[in-house]
Amino acid sequence: MRSAPAESRIVPFRAGCPLCGSHKAEPFAEQDGYDFARCRQCRFVYLDPMPGDDQLAALYNEVGGSDTYLAKRRSRTRRAHLKLLRFLPYAFAKDILDIGCGGGIMVSALGRIARRAVGIDISEGAIAFARATFPRHAFVCADYRETDLAPDSFDFVHASEIIEHVNDLGAFMAFLARVTRPGGHVYVTTPDIGHEALPPDVRQWDVFSPPRHLQFFDQDTLSQVFARHGFVTRRRYRDRKPGLQMLFRMPQGGGR
């Protein structure tokens, strides 16, 4: 167990599991001085204590990453366009949001089929790049908790490799539930801690990397957290690598 960090850096999750609120958790694994717990009730795996906003802001300012983003731009663009076929039934002629949009490549790709494409990201550098590169689309530089996006404003929300990074899961889910129109869909990807291809020692898994990744889902816990916020599971896409790719739907009439 690490010594307690400064008080302002801790989100008080010791009050309970971020998914189900249960107070019964057991040690799961320790990595680089960070302790993961597993909820005994819902089996969710999460960092305890959870890093606070100050700690994460410092981390992402340090990492930057725009050079890597540019270097991978061509392959990312190709992959984004390959995904369009999958999204077509849910995003064609619709209003779409990409949360954690980075430099905007997926927004640009979805913008080819959507009525309106909006990207949101907390990184100023990424949003500046996106605005300069894809001027036809709207980009918002903000924390999801602080945006003024109207309720029920999107038919399709793309949230790829983002949910494992958020230190306030309830607020993130409330945001998704608020901006998704009844009948709309949310597409989520995140590492899969329940995947058969995981190494026997989870600490050897390359994405088991706190404090960038703060929590880990399997198909069951991801479905549970969406169900708690009114969504129904529509489908899971197969992935040979340890990743979840799932689609959720907000029922007509809303589930909130």
Residues that bind Zn ion (CB under 5 A): 17, 19-20, 22, 39, 41-42, 44
Which one, 182 or 194, has the nearer CB to Zn ion? 194
- Between β-strands 232-237 and 25-31, what pairing exists: parallel, antiparallel or unpaired? unpaired
Which one, 19 or 50, has the nearer CB to Zn ion? 19
Which one, 180 or 215, has the nearer CB to Zn ion? 215
Instruction: Tell me the angle at which helices 219-228 and 169-179 cross, rounded to the nearest 10 degrees.
Output: 60
Which one, 19 or 222, has the nearer CB to Zn ion? 19
DSSP for 110-135, written as a single string: HHTT-SEEEEEES-HHHHHHHHHH-T
> Residue 88 is which amino acid?
L
167 DSSP assignment: S
Which one, 90 or 217, has the nearer CB to Zn ion? 217
CB of 40 to Zn ion, least distance (A): 8
CB of 66 to Zn ion, least distance (A): 37
CB of 132 to Zn ion, least distance (A): 43
Buried b (16+ CB within 10 A) or exposed e, 3-25: eeeeeebbbebeeebbbbeeeeb
CB of 90 to Zn ion, least distance (A): 29
Q: Which residues contact 80 (CB under 8 A, 6 or more apart)?
A: 105, 106, 108, 109, 110
CB of 224 to Zn ion, least distance (A): 8
